[in-house]
Structure 1
């Protein structure tokens, strides 16, 4: 005689602790849930509303500088520290956790501090700064006497140049660094003179950026509207790209070594692939004034930019429009921005002498999350991504309150772009031979490319 017994596991319907929620049996048969899509749409709309309701990106304003902040560097071996340089020659090191100054040099340079960078190494406590006083100075964080009596600490080393410096960056692991002035100079920390001079053109170089992944590649941009790539192994240029307007800053993608982003005077951020520079891989166009600085997130998937229009914008690297815009009533023109290395925060420095700390995700909250809370957040993100093109959800997700000046300037810029397109179409329509070619947006700002 065959006997069939019902067998079920107690773990399927019992709780581990008395604080757990009751487990309910669920049947996922779609025939039993005819309104599934309608319910998910409602949940997506509610999730979008909750995101905007809890969006409070501003965390802290760190005051202390007397003049504007024009240079900034993050420490790859310390998440908490940010170094800033101001227009009156002062250097400060900040603790983002304590939100206070932990090191300062009141008269580090005679004139504006144009660039700062950290010396690599897990045990290194040194960093470099350059200014318009034609000097490169090496500082040590262990010099803490300045906090007590207000005097400038002694430098570890000083390098004298022939021209006013405009930027600096250090090699990933070798004891060399590069500076920009009227030319790009490569220095060895053990020598008082540059070991290599890199030139291609005669105009001033705005900034210099070393690739931290493909460590033998160096990029610079100048006032002659050029972007030049150099090879440190041969001390020779690789390629030169000429834009319609000059570039203010360069940032290399930490996850894709051949990709870099540039902040341009034409209100746009351009991303390029150094293997094929005859066109931009993407054009990010939402700012209404010159973009002064740009930085990649540690994941390489997002960008942050600071502009002369007094705003900070965050972008998805694959999108053409910003996903968020940050502004403050007293924040003036933004000259430097950085993503923190935990991908959670953004730091901006402006010429109102304040350093500001923002959330990278405006509605995200810090702290340990339970499994249920994390699953709920991930489910809400999936729903918003699934229904992001539905008009009601899209309207809520894109709604931003921006200053009147930004809104009016954006509307004016849009009218100008539409007028320009309409003019070009009319010219083609009434041209007998239709000789005017259609130029893609990613090639319009590029005037020429030269390789060696």
Structure 2
């Protein structure tokens, strides 16, 4: 009689630790797991609760400015380098890894209104309230030369500066939009559309010959460097403070408006925004897209920083600090992990883009667990309990009261419009989409 024995390799059922921890074989047949959905739901609730428990977005602050910070600039090739400009004309170069200031220069007399780096060369440009544009050389150690390489005297005060993504050209805004060549002292092209002042100007990162600008007459303007006149203009109900282009969609941009909202437009159809984003209770001062193009961050006059998905009206995250004052400028880091905000109390703060993300190197088992929890939260995200826990945020009292008041005002407007329509002739008061209510007109 011959007996055949089973032979198994220990590597098939023991983990890498070689300890007595047996790998449990599992049959994935759903008929053998009738309570799988219930167990996964409990795990999804627990994962959502732990996400809120470990949500600690604030990482640190960069303290050193003696006046309010008005400008932030990301270095195009060094993630750990940040440039900032303040109301007293001072420009500082920061090392984010060490959280200290590498260099300080007195760039202008008065406010620093514009600050941007060349995207391939080691120098940057600044413009200020003293009607000058200055070019500064950066050293290999991260410092800055004491004297500027070039000084351009302007006729009027400059409001903003942005450098081209590939050519040696930059644009400034003020009484008009000027296109400058780095080697010339006069603008090579000027755009004017009868506006008192242009507040903000930005180059398109994909279609690099296109520019977007916001004017003091409540307008959002589009320019093409290849032409001699502006392209199109759309007028909103209130003034816009900043504009940012989506780095992954060439024709999409978002503007930060004074009416507490942000508006995402497609430049091919400006008669109605693609979406509008609410939740701020005061004017929105700045906006910047993430490198992925799926989200953007906004800075508010209500002392808060909010993160919005592009396709949603409400923010997924709100950041605030006890001593943080009105936030004037915000930037999303190029590695998609950090958010930088600057406010009136002379401080620059560093936040995590994902509040509960664990920083540092993750072990394979940790990474697998995080991915599994993310899939569970995505699968059960619409269940009331999971949705309530994931959406809940503790906000300052004035933000809570302001949001409640804005909600009452909007409900009152809707009720009044409904009553007027009910007591008027049929068709006398047409129904207007919520997106169309904020656009006054379009000019070509």
Identify whether the pair has TM-score above 0.5, normalized to the shorter chain: yes
SS of alignment partner, residue 435 of structure 2: helix
For the 8 Å contact 2:195–2:216, the answer to whether it is kept is no
- Picking from 102, 120, 138, the partner of 1:141 is 138
What is aligned with 2:128? 131
Question: Which stretch of structure 1 is more off in the superposition, 152-161 or 210-219?
Answer: 152-161
What is aligned with 1:291? 284
- Picking from 160, 164, 168, the partner of 2:161 is 168
What is aligned with 1:430? 423
Change (3 A) 1:7 1:312: same
What is aligned with 2:170? 177
Point out 4+ residue stretches in structure 1 off by more than 4 angstroms: 3-11, 143-147
Hey, what's the Cα distance between the residues in 2 that align with 1:153 and 1:197? 31
Cα distance, 1:290 vs structure 2: 0.2
**Deviations 1:339-388 (CA, angstroms, capped at 9, x unpaired):** 00010000000010000000101111111112221111011111111212
What is aligned with 2:44? 44
Hey, what's the Cα distance between the residues in 2 that align with 1:370 and 1:274? 44
**Deviations 1:181-237 (CA, angstroms, capped at 9, x unpaired):** 000000001110001101112210001001111101011111001111001112321
For the 8 Å contact 2:176–2:190, the answer to whether it is kept is yes
Hey, what's the Cα distance between the residues in 2 that align with 1:345 and 1:401? 21
Cα distance, 1:108 vs structure 2: 1.1
SS of alignment partner, residue 392 of structure 1: helix
For the 8 Å contact 2:85–2:92, the answer to whether it is kept is yes
SS of alignment partner, residue 41 of structure 1: helix
What is aligned with 1:401? 394
Question: Which stretch of structure 1 is more off in the superposition, 3-12 or 401-410?
Answer: 3-12
Change (3 A) 1:366 1:425: same
What is aligned with 1:118? 117
Question: Which stretch of structure 1 is more off in the superposition, 296-305 or 270-279?
Answer: 270-279
SS of alignment partner, residue 433 of structure 1: coil
Cα distance, 1:7 vs structure 2: 8.8
The answer to whether structure 1 residue 446 and structure 2 residue 431 are counterparts is: no
Cα distance, 1:251 vs structure 2: 0.6
What is aligned with 1:416? 409
> Superposed, which structure 2 residues align to 1:12-411 within 5 Å?
12-18=12-18, 21-105=21-105, 107-121=106-120, 124-142=121-139, 153-411=146-404
SS of alignment partner, residue 114 of structure 2: strand
Change (3 A) 1:406 1:167: same
Cα distance, 1:20 vs structure 2: 9.1
Hey, what's the Cα distance between the residues in 1 that align with 2:20 and 2:284? 51
Gaps of 5+ in 1: none
Cα distance, 1:15 vs structure 2: 3.6
Cα distance, 1:17 vs structure 2: 4.2
Hey, what's the Cα distance between the residues in 1 that align with 2:192 and 2:270? 19
For the 8 Å contact 2:67–2:88, the answer to whether it is kept is yes
For the 8 Å contact 2:14–2:21, the answer to whether it is kept is no
Hey, what's the Cα distance between the residues in 2 that align with 1:363 and 1:297? 18
Question: Which stretch of structure 1 is more off in the superposition, 75-84 or 294-303?
Answer: 75-84
SS of alignment partner, residue 377 of structure 1: helix
Cα distance, 1:32 vs structure 2: 1.5
Question: Which stretch of structure 1 is more off in the superposition, 227-236 or 405-414?
Answer: 227-236
Hey, what's the Cα distance between the residues in 2 that align with 1:64 and 1:48? 38
Q: CA RMSD in A?
A: 1.9
SS of alignment partner, residue 31 of structure 2: helix
Hey, what's the Cα distance between the residues in 2 that align with 1:207 and 1:321? 25
Hey, what's the Cα distance between the residues in 1 that align with 2:196 and 2:380? 50
Cα distance, 1:45 vs structure 2: 0.5
For the 8 Å contact 2:14–2:20, the answer to whether it is kept is no
Change (3 A) 1:45 1:145: closer
Cα distance, 1:4 vs structure 2: 11
TM (normalized to structure 2)?
Answer: 0.96
Hey, what's the Cα distance between the residues in 1 that align with 2:287 and 2:19? 47
For the 8 Å contact 1:114–1:167, the answer to whether it is kept is yes
TM (normalized to structure 1)?
Answer: 0.94
Hey, what's the Cα distance between the residues in 1 that align with 2:308 and 2:167? 32
